[in-house]
Amino acid sequence: MKPFANLTLPEKEALRKSLQEEFDRVCEKNLKLNMARGKPGKEQLDLVSDILTVLSDPEDCVSDGLDVRNYGNLSGLPEAKNLFAEVLGCKPEQCFIGGSASLQLMYDLIAKAYTHGLQHSPRPWCREPVVKWLCPAPGYDRHFSISQSFGMELITVPMTVEGPDMDLVEDLVKDPTIKGMWCVPKYSNPQGIVYSKQIIDRIAALRPAAPDFTVVWDNAYCVHEVFGDYLPFPDILSLCAAEGNADMVYEFASTSKITFPGAGISVMAASEANQAYLQGIMKYQIISYDKVNQLRHVRFLKDKAHTLEVMAKHAEVLRPKFSCVLDTLEKEIKPLGLATWESPKGGYFVSVNTLPGLAKRTLELCAQAGVTMTAAGATYPYGKDPADSNIRIAPSYPGLDELRQAIEIFCLCLKLAALEQAR
Amino acid sequence: MKPFANLTLPEKEALRKSLQEEFDRVCEKNLKLNMARGKPGKEQLDLVSDILTVLSDPEDCVSDGLDVRNYGNLSGLPEAKNLFAEVLGCKPEQCFIGGSASLQLMYDLIAKAYTHGLQHSPRPWCREPVVKWLCPAPGYDRHFSISQSFGMELITVPMTVEGPDMDLVEDLVKDPTIKGMWCVPKYSNPQGIVYSKQIIDRIAALRPAAPDFTVVWDNAYCVHEVFGDYLPFPDILSLCAAEGNADMVYEFASTSKITFPGAGISVMAASEANQAYLQGIMKYQIISYDKVNQLRHVRFLKDKAHTLEVMAKHAEVLRPKFSCVLDTLEKEIKPLGLATWESPKGGYFVSVNTLPGLAKRTLELCAQAGVTMTAAGATYPYGKDPADSNIRIAPSYPGLDELRQAIEIFCLCLKLAALEQAR
């Protein structure tokens, strides 16, 4: 196949017609395929379902002498803190253990900044005339939505292949109304980019004007390799502390894609001073998150080494799915020059950048053909991708056969969109 | 024994000396007894521990065709909504299912009122110069703490034997800065008072000046009888709706004292319009609370009838403990005229009103003797009981032998405090 750019107009029109016919045939099948969300598939859920029965008797429900079935222990079980601390490389006393969603811990951090202020806030953020927030993009739509929900002004920071554009970030944080920044440092959502050590060091060494500048370090994919061995990753808490920024960063992780997405546990790691401050507010909100489930996770995952063994099993399921998507793009799209993409080594997504102006139309066509995808623009602040180019593909949920169909339909739709644009 | 008031001063001093000697002997035992928190005891936890294994295989994790292990369903499992709706008498579509703490749902309701405003709020409460809140007292310290944490002005409303003083409430709500009211309508914390139908009707028919006046209806003890049969209770949502106040009330309940306090599920019941409004904000906060645990509860509790059977077993454990406290008070304190109390038929507490000025000193003495109790004043806004009189006794956690020791020491301390005061 020739790159589309090299086709004559009549050649393009002839190709468009034949692809349109193919597309019409696909539509008649009334398919229902889904590549929208980073949901693990049933096979992945089944392989961790022994967690359901690791605690089966009252005697199993004791951790460090504590009956986990009863009230108490706001910040979570010491055993759960040990597990997360080992995985993240931080200290157990820096960990607060949450419920089934690290998103909730992130939301609540921002909510408390608004209602009460953070440790170094001159005032609660609801008393600030303007709050601005840095959004490396493409990024995670749910992060941007939290900021938007609180009326923040979202500032797009372009992603480079080794992380956010730090020249820009270093410049922007001189503005004291800029209060923080979203980061998914390992296998970023959606590109699967791993922040380089140099970028991480520059983040840790930021000199923001806002005394309560907040790096939300969403380490959602901390042990989520798909291809290759576990990639060790620096502990952002100690790096920030070494730069005199101990209280600037809050790290989040969860077991949502380790055990059950709908029933995992989560962690917020932060300096001891931040923990003391925040727990002083959180004690009014909750007595503790579900400690039985925390202990269930500790007994099932055991330690970092065993967690990595569990993740290796997930990777076995995910690898052919990622390969299917990447191979199909390589075969169908690359020769045509219609899009570029990273080849992620982990995480849950493949991020495709089409030629400008093709993303929305491609996904419209996908929807018509019965393939649900994350909305175009979702990976940018306010849902607006200025180039109308970025598309997030989530290969994890469908079975391999379905996925193959879905990605082929996606490629067909992208080609058709490109040829429509060329008319 | 004669009432202390009838003793001569020398008689009092002689008695004080002998009780002081008894007290010193108790202190030497270095006891560690706890009547502070409404925590179920181990026997209660054991009798519901079959819940640990009701879901043991992947096939068990399907509810209405939904794999509860995976992401999704913000407002919770339909089966869990059905269960709570049957228990509370409201509609399933009025239910939002939360995590291990209804306290968290209440806190988040107030937090969202502050950051975003409620459905009928002219503006977020953080933009109001003053927010005031009605606190029937004695009441639940954690309720008052939430209000206080948001900087509200707390207004004490005296409790009568059939609920809050409604003449006062009806008058107070004419003030538009008064935004809401805490209620524990059945077996109130701490007195165990059941609001009368007349009081409930007057609450439902309130005509508050604030368009977003919020009744927090914490039905924490909705199926928590200790003595006697299950007491049917009206559905506050439909009563409010019948009075044109459909959006004024938010009802809360949880399984904390039905299954595991540290690992239950909770509910916020509210009008469909309130649910639509709130879930429009909550969707940014969480993908869903733990659905595996929701299904575990549905499978274990089954329906209202079976839930009441479970509660009858809890009552069998609790009844001798409540009797022990009430009988000891009856025998040791009543003849002396040092205190009065309600005889609750359910809930988790016995609330004692000493003669004025004795509560703090009594609890100081208890602490010295190794008996931990809820702090004096905790049942009043700002932790300040104007009469220094109310003491909350929680009989559920200690074993019966320990409890007997603890309540006897409590009576000793109360007598001693009274005699010290008389010097």
> For residue A279, is pLDDT > 90?
yes
Name beta bridge partners: A97: A267
Q: What is the pLDDT of residues B187-219, one digit of tens each?
A: 999 999 999 999 999 999 999 999 999 999 999
- Give the number of C-alpha atoms closer than 13 A to the C-alpha of residue A132, restricted to the C-beta side: 15
Distance (Å, rounded) from C-alpha B188 to C-alpha A309?
50
pTM beyond cutoff 0.90: yes
**Closest C-alpha to A311, from A385, A190, A245, A230:** A230
- Residue A372 is classified by DSSP as E
Residue B368 identity (one-letter amino acid): Q
The token pair that represents A207 in the structure block: 């000199």
pLDDT of residue B422: 84
Residue A1 has pLDDT above 80, yes or no: no
Contact A45 B58 (CB under 8 A): yes
* Average pLDDT along chain B: 97
Residue numbers in B near A292 (CB within 8 A): 52, 260, 262-263
Around Cβ A130, how many Cβ atoms within 10 Å? 12
B194 neighbors B186 (Cβ within 8 angstroms): yes
Strand, coil or helix: B289: coil
Flag whether pLDDT at A122 surpasses 80. yes
The shortest C-alpha distance from A111 to chain B (Å) reads 7
Q: How many CB atoms lie within 10 A of CB A383?
A: 14
> What percent of chain B has a predicted confidence (pLDDT) above 90?
98
> What's CA A418's distance to the chain center, in Å?
29
Q: Is B61-301 the same fold as B4-45+308-422?
A: no
Is residue B88 within 8 A of residue B253, CB to CB? The reply is yes
Q: How many CB atoms lie within 10 A of CB A3?
A: 11
Tokens 């220094």 — which residue? B388
Q: Strand A249-254 and strand A266-270: pairing? A: antiparallel
Look at strands B371-373 and B33-35 and give their pairing. Answer: parallel
Residues of A whose CB is below 8 A from B50: none
CB-nearest to B262 from A70, A115, A124 is A70
Substitution target from B57, B63, B71 for chain A, most A beta carbons within 10 A:
B71
Mean pLDDT over B222-227 rounds to 98
pLDDT tens per residue across span B256-304: 999 999 999 999 999 999 999 999 999 999 999 999 999 999 999 999 9
Under the banding of pLDDT at 50, 70 and 90, the label for residue B82 is very high
pLDDT value at residue B423: 82
B315-325 residues labelled b (16+ CB within 10 A) or e (exposed): bebbeebbebb
Q: Is A416 left (phi over 0), alpha (psi -120 to 50) or beta?
A: alpha
Enclosing H/E stretch for A158: strand A153-160
Cβ count near A370 (within 10 Å): 17
Question: What does the pLDDT read at residue A37?
Answer: 85
Fold of B61-301: Aspartate Aminotransferase; domain 2 (3.40.640)
**Residue B158 and residue B308: Cα distance in Å, rounded?**
32
Peptide bond into A138 cis (omega under 30): yes
Q: Which of B37, B70, B79, B259 to mutate to test the interface with A (most CBs of A within 10 A)?
A: B70
Enumerate the H helices of A163-282 as residue ranges. Answer: 166-172, 197-204, 236-242, 272-282
Q: What percent of chain A has pLDDT over 90?
A: 98
Select from B69, B126, B284 the Cβ nearest to the Cβ of A263.
B69
* CA–CA dist B78, B81 (Å, integer): 5
For residue A61, list chain B residues with Cβ-Cβ distance below 8 A: 45, 49, 52
Confidence band of A300 (pLDDT split at 50, 70, 90): very high
Q: Which two tokens stand for residue A364?
A: 């419209």
- Which chain B positions have a beta carbon within 8 Å of A49's beta carbon? 57-58, 61, 69
A chain contacts of residue B71, beta-carbon cutoff 8 Å: 37, 39, 256, 261-262
Considering only CB atoms, A284 lies closest to which of B45, B116, B149, namely B149
Mean pLDDT of B314-328: 98
Q: How high is the pLDDT of residue B32?
A: 94
Q: How confident is the model at residue B2 (pLDDT cuts 50, 70, 90)?
A: confident
Shortest CA gap B303–chain A (Å): 22
Supply the pLDDT for residue B274: 98
* Mean pLDDT for the stretch of residues A45-61: 98
What is the chain A residue with the closest CA to B293?
A: A263
pLDDT above 90 (res A78): yes
| Rounded (10°) CA dihedral A160, A164, A170, A171 | 70
Alpha carbon of A168: minimum distance to chain B alpha carbons (Å): 28
**pLDDT value of position B90:** 98
Query: Does A262 sit within 8 Å of B288, measured CB to CB?
Result: yes
Pick the residue of B112, B145, B260 with the most A CBs within 10 A to test the interface with A by mutation.
B260
Task: Report the pLDDT value the prediction gives residue A423, as an integer from 0 to 100.
Answer: 82
Report chain B residues whose CB lies below 8 A from the CB of A127: 126
How far is Cα A398 from Cα A247, in angstroms, rounded to an integer?
41
Q: How confident is the model at residue B28 (pLDDT cuts 50, 70, 90)?
A: very high
* From B40, B57, B286, residue closest to A103, measured CB to CB: B286
Q: Is the pLDDT of residue B112 over 80?
A: yes
* Alpha-carbon gap, residue B186 to B221, rounded angstroms: 6
Task: Between A186 and A1, name the one with better pLDDT.
Answer: A186
Kindly tell me if the per-residue pLDDT of A165 is higher than 90: yes
Q: What is the pLDDT of residues A90-101, one digit of tens each?
A: 999 999 999 999
User: What sign for the dihedral angle of Cα A377, A381, A387, A390?
Assistant: negative
Q: How far apart are CA B72 and CA B77, in angstroms?
A: 10
The ranges assigned to domains in chain A are 4-45+308-422, 51-303
Where do we find the tokens 């990447």? A326
Q: Which residue has the tokens 């395929």?
A: A33
Two structure tokens written together for A367: 């929807």
Burial of B226 (0-12, 13-18, 19+ CB in 10 A): buried
- A31 versus B2: the higher-pLDDT residue is A31
- Please choose, from the candidates A237, A248, A177, the residue with its C-alpha nearest in 3D space to the C-alpha of residue A213: A248
Distance from CA of B131 to the nearest CA of A (A): 14
How many angstroms separate the CA of residue B218 from the nearest CA in chain A?
Answer: 15
Which CATH code is given to the segment(s) A4-45+308-422?
3.90.1150.10
A73-A78-A84 Cα angle (round to 5): 120
For residue A167, give the amino acid letter.
D
- How many contacts does A have with B, using Cβ atoms within 8 A? 177
What pLDDT is attached to residue A422? 84
What is the maximal distance between C-alpha atoms in chain B? 78
Domain at A51-303, CATH class? alpha beta
Nearest C-alpha in B relative to A126: B126
**CA gap A388, A344 in Å, rounded:** 22
Contact B162, B199 (CB under 8 A): yes
| Residue B71 to chain A, least CA–CA distance (Å) | 5
Quickly list H helices, B29-131: 42-47, 78-88, 102-115
Q: How far is A284 from chain B (nearest CA, A)?
A: 6
β pairing state of B132-137 and B178-183 = parallel
